[in-house]
Amino acid sequence: MIYTTCYDSPLGKLTLAGKNNKLIGLWIEGQKHFFGNFKDKTKKNDDLAIFRKTEKWLDSYFNGENPSIENLDLNLQGTDFRLKVWKILEGIAYGEVVTYGDIAKKISYDMSSQAVGGAVGHNPISIIVPCHRVVGFDGKLTGYAGGLENKVKLLELEGVKIRDLKVIF
């Protein structure tokens, strides 16, 4: 059974999903790949410990702080390749951006940026696993399953100088 709850954020409603008291999903309302490939039955439950921890993390984050994900029990579910990409995402520092190409080079010298982009786009735990910190070649703000306007808001919250990037809507 997958349990869900909602969190009201500055970006709108976020849906959190948990299983076995671990966070398996966090999506912005209207996000592409919402609920991904999860097939289990769902049930609303606002009182799971993982949800309370995640809500506290989100409160801190949206207050402009840099909370650690170390205290959150995450259970990312995906292919080996996607898990490798998502692990790299976890290492992108608050307020920093990297390119899809940078991530590709960390995996293999001949890895495609497009393959990395597909994995980044299917990240099931948005914001906490910071896929919003990935930009295109030459600093272009392209691709964000939660919407580019939300990507801009998240980066601005973290102090990224958006004027230094190329916003492509």
Annotated active-site residue 6? The verdict is no
- Domain of 140 in residue numbering reads as 78-162
Judge whether 119 lies within some domain: yes
Q: Which of 35, 61, 87 is the last residue of a domain?
A: 61
Do 84 and 24 share a structural domain? Answer: no
Do 105 and 35 share a structural domain? Answer: no
CA-CA-CA-CA torsion sign (96, 13, 50, 144) = negative
More reliable by pLDDT, 138 or 9? 9
Judge whether 66 lies within some domain: no
Q: What's the half-sphere exposure (Cβ side, CA atoms, 13 Å) at 142?
A: 11
Do 31 and 1 share a structural domain? Answer: yes
Would you place residue 141 in the very low, low, confident or very high pLDDT band (cuts 50, 70, 90)?
confident
Judge whether 68 lies within some domain: no
Judge whether 5 lies within some domain: yes
pLDDT in tens, 22-46: 999 999 998 776 766 666 788 899 9
Q: What is the CATH number of the domain that holds 98?
A: 1.10.10.10
Helices (H), the chain: 49-62, 80-90, 100-107, 113-121, 148-157
According to the model, what pLDDT value does residue 60 have?
97
pLDDT at residue 169 tops 50: no
Judge whether 71 lies within some domain: no
Judge whether 167 lies within some domain: no
Q: What angle do CA 48, 29, 162 make, to 5 degrees?
A: 110
pTM of the predicted model as reported, rounded to 2 decimal places: 0.91
Do 55 and 92 share a structural domain? Answer: no
Q: What is the CATH number of the domain that holds 4?
A: 3.30.160
Exactly one of 92, 119, 128, 131 is catalytic; which is it?
A: 131
The number of distinct structural domains making up the chain is: 2
